[in-house]
Structures are given as structure tokens and as C-alpha cells.
Amino acid sequence: EDEAGQAYFDKIIAEDSRIEPADWMPEKYRKTLTRQMSQHAHSEIIGMQPEANWITRAPSLKRKAILMAKVQDEAGHGLYLYSATETLGTPRHVLNEQLMSGKAKYSSIFNYPANSWADMGAIGWLVDGAAIANQVPLCRASYGPYGRAMVRICKEESFHQRQGFEILLELANGTPAQKQMAQDAVNRFYAPALMMFGPTDTDSPNSQQSMAWNIKRFSNDELRSRFVGMIQEQVKVLGLTLPDDQIRYNEETGLWEHGELNWDEFYEVLAGRGPCNAQRMERRREAHENGAWVREAAAAYAAKKAQKAQV
Ligand code: ACO
């Protein structure tokens, strides 16, 4: 049976078609997707924190409403992705335990602090911009539920990216102090945003297999290069600069090059020793504990409904 399953799986991948939850799939394919998708879900949930931090301090009612909507979108993306991950067989509470015990990773970027209002702009422009560059190709991922989830998520991310750009544009055209605040935010978020794409291709253990399975369509470095090309153009509209004097287009390779990134810092953040890791995890655990009554009520309600259905 496995042989027939494997043959079917290979055919689907070769045709660049889609694997669905009930289809046979190699255990390693299931495992790598569960890892990537759950890490993605955790990132959305932890990613709510740096921005939630600014909801009460947004400079106007309109900005506050927009920021609240964005943070809610991220909660939605997380829940959507947990549901998609569950179709691979790991229940939500197990995924959640993996996050809270520190066993599962989430994106490095959310371990950096959001110090000023301009950071809401830099996060929208650079962080959500990097997320889009990474996630648009994932809309074609070979696993159906993941690819479909990405379509909707990317649409919302595009709105997030534009609202961030617009915050920076307004600050950049404001007083000299406001412009400086915008520049400072861009300076701090530039390198961590580039690291979101993951280690360089030579240090990315999962890329080759994930590309062979049509989960990833481009390598980490290819996507990072494409992103640098986009933002080096957009930053001109802002009248700001990127803190990297080594950005250049390589005619031969067709790739955008950038300055060396601090990979020691990246691995420190992944190991839980970034500027905000401890705080992010503590908040997540607190929120989970405070939400216990909601889960209990939902379970009691479901049990009551099931009992009624039996009568
Ligand atoms: N932050 C934290 N962990 C990372 C990061 C990062 N920026 N980049 C890579 N890693 C981890 C990988 O998960 C992998 O972990 P492992 O020990 O479980 O194997 C390890 O570092 C080695 O990296 P790769 O072999 O390159 O891993 P992979 O092929 O999975 O590529 C990538 C990493 C590009 C992040 C991929 O998983 C992906 O595209 N994920 C979906 C997008 C996503 O998760 N975005 C979250 C941030 S965007 C947002 O939420 C708004």
C-alpha cells in the first residue's frame, strides 16, 4: 500500500499538483510541513505582542482602529494556520504545548522590541513586507490547506504592509524629529527583517528537500535578495535610507546583494537569548492561563450540545 501511496505522491509532486489531507504522504513530508506551518502559526500569535504594545498609545483614534484591526488579523492568521496544521494529524493543544515549552520555534523577528510609534511603521513596511515576499510563493505550496491559507493571509498582509509604509511616509514628511524617529526605526528593523528569510542557503538544512517537494519555491537567499531589491526602491519614496552601503545589483547573477548579516545574533535569538524572548514567552503563558475559563466554557458548551444531539 505504501508503494502505491508513494507512487501517487510522486506523481502529484511531478505534476506540480496538490496533496490533500486524506492522501498518502511520506512521514517526512508530514513532519516538515507540521514544523513549518506550526512555526508560522506561532509567529502570527507571538507577532501580536510588539504591536499590541502600541494600541493604547497610537497617536489618533483612526490609527488605533487600524492597529487593532491589524493585530486581530494576525490572531486570525494564527488560528487559520493552526487549523491547517491540524489536518496533518497533530492536535492544536499539542502544538500549543510545543510553543509554550519552548520546543517549537517562532520567527526571530518578534523577539525585538517596538520602542517607538515609528516602529509600527517599520514593522508594517519591513516585517510584513518580508512576510509577503516569503509567503506569496507559498500560495503555490504543494500541500492544499497551506497554499489556500496563504492566499487569504497574503491579501491581508498587503494591507498591513501599506499601512506601515504610510505611517513612515507621514513621519518622514513631518518635523525633523519625526523624520529622525522614522529613520531610527528603519535602521533597527532592517537587518532583523532580512534575517526573517532564514539562514543562508549553505546553512539551510531544510531548503533542498522542501523545494524538491514544492513546499518552498525559492531559496532563502533568493527571496532575501528579491526583498532587498524591492525595499531599496521604496525607501527612496520615503526619503529615508537603508543602513547598508553594500546594496548593489549584480548583473551577472541577476541578484541584489547586501551587506553581511550578523548570523551569531540570529542563532542567539533562535536559542531563546534575543532581546525579548523571555518576555514574549512569559506573556504568551500568562495569556494562555488567563484564557483557561474560555476553553472550559467552550468545552462545556460542546458537551451540552453533543448530549442534546443524542436525545
Ligand atoms: N526565525 C526562527 N527560526 C527560523 C528562521 C527565523 N527567521 N529562519 C529559519 N528558522 C529555523 C527553521 O525553522 C529551521 O528550524 P528547525 O530546527 O526546526 O529545522 C532552522 O531555522 C533552519 O532553517 P531552514 O532550513 O532554512 O528552514 P526552512 O526551510 O523551514 O526555512 C523559513 C525557514 C523560510 C522561515 C520557512 O520555514 C518559511 O517559509 N516559513 C513560513 C513563513 C513563516 O514562518 N513566517 C513567519 C514570520 S512572518 C509573520 O508571521 C508575519
Sign of CA pseudo-dihedral 217, 202, 154, 37: positive
Q: How far is CA 308 from the centre of its chain?
A: 41
Q: Is the pLDDT of residue 1 over 80?
A: no
| Of 287, 232, 273, nearest in space to 71 by CA | 287
Instruction: Give residue 105 CA to ligand 1 midpoint distance, Å.
Output: 8
Give the residue-averaged pLDDT of 156-166. Answer: 97
Give the residue-averaged pLDDT of 32-58. Answer: 97
Atom of ligand 1 nearest to the CA of 44: 50
Give the residue-averaged pLDDT of 182-198. Answer: 98
| Of 80, 219, 224, 60, nearest in space to 156 by CA | 80
Residues with CB under 6 A from ligand 1: 35-36, 39-40, 43-44, 47, 105, 107-108, 131, 134-135, 195-199, 204-207, 210, 220, 270
The residue contributing the CA closest to ligand 1 atom 7 is 196
Are the beta carbons of 86 and 152 closer than 8 angstroms?
no
Instruction: Give residue 289 CA to ligand 1 midpoint distance, Å.
Output: 27
ipTM, 2 dp: 0.98
Instruction: Give residue 306 CA to ligand 1 midpoint distance, Å.
Output: 40
C-alpha cell at 278: 523571555
Phi and psi at 197, nearest 5°, equal -75, -5
Q: What torsion, rounded to 10 degrees, do the Cα atoms 70, 76, 81, 86 define?
A: 160
Give the pLDDT confidence score for residue 260 in this predicted structure: 97
Number of C-beta neighbours around residue 232 at 10 A: 17
Q: Is the pLDDT of residue 311 over 80?
A: no
Q: Which residue in the block uniquely carries the three cell numbers 537567499?
A: 221
Give the pLDDT confidence score for residue 310 in this predicted structure: 85
Are the beta carbons of 34 and 208 closer than 8 angstroms?
no
Give the residue-averaged pLDDT of 105-130. Answer: 98
User: Which tens digit of pLDDT belongs to each residue from 64-85?
Assistant: 999 999 999 999 999 999 999 9
Give the residue-averaged pLDDT of 128-139. Answer: 98
Give the pLDDT confidence score for residue 62 in this predicted structure: 96
Q: Maximum distance among all alpha carbons in the chain?
A: 73
Instruction: Give residue 210 CA to ligand 1 midpoint distance, Å.
Output: 12
Q: Is the pLDDT of residue 95 over 70?
A: yes
Sequence-distant (6+) residues with CB within 8 A of 49 are 110, 280, 283, 284
* Pairing of β 248-250 and β 255-257: antiparallel
Instruction: Give residue 68 CA to ligand 1 midpoint distance, Å.
Output: 26
The residue contributing the CA closest to ligand 1 atom 24 is 204
**Percent above pLDDT 90 for the chain:** 98
Q: Which residue in the block uniquely carries the three cell numbers 519552548?
A: 102
Atom of ligand 1 nearest to the CA of 40: 44
Record the pTM. 0.96
How confident is residue 2, by pLDDT bands cut at 50, 70 and 90? confident
Mutate to test the pocket of ligand 1, among 81, 107, 273 (most ligand atoms within 8 A of CB): 107
Q: What is the mean pLDDT of the chain?
A: 97
Distance CA 11, CA 148 (A): 21
User: Which tens digit of pLDDT belongs to each residue from 272-301?
Assistant: 999 999 999 999 999 999 999 999 999 999
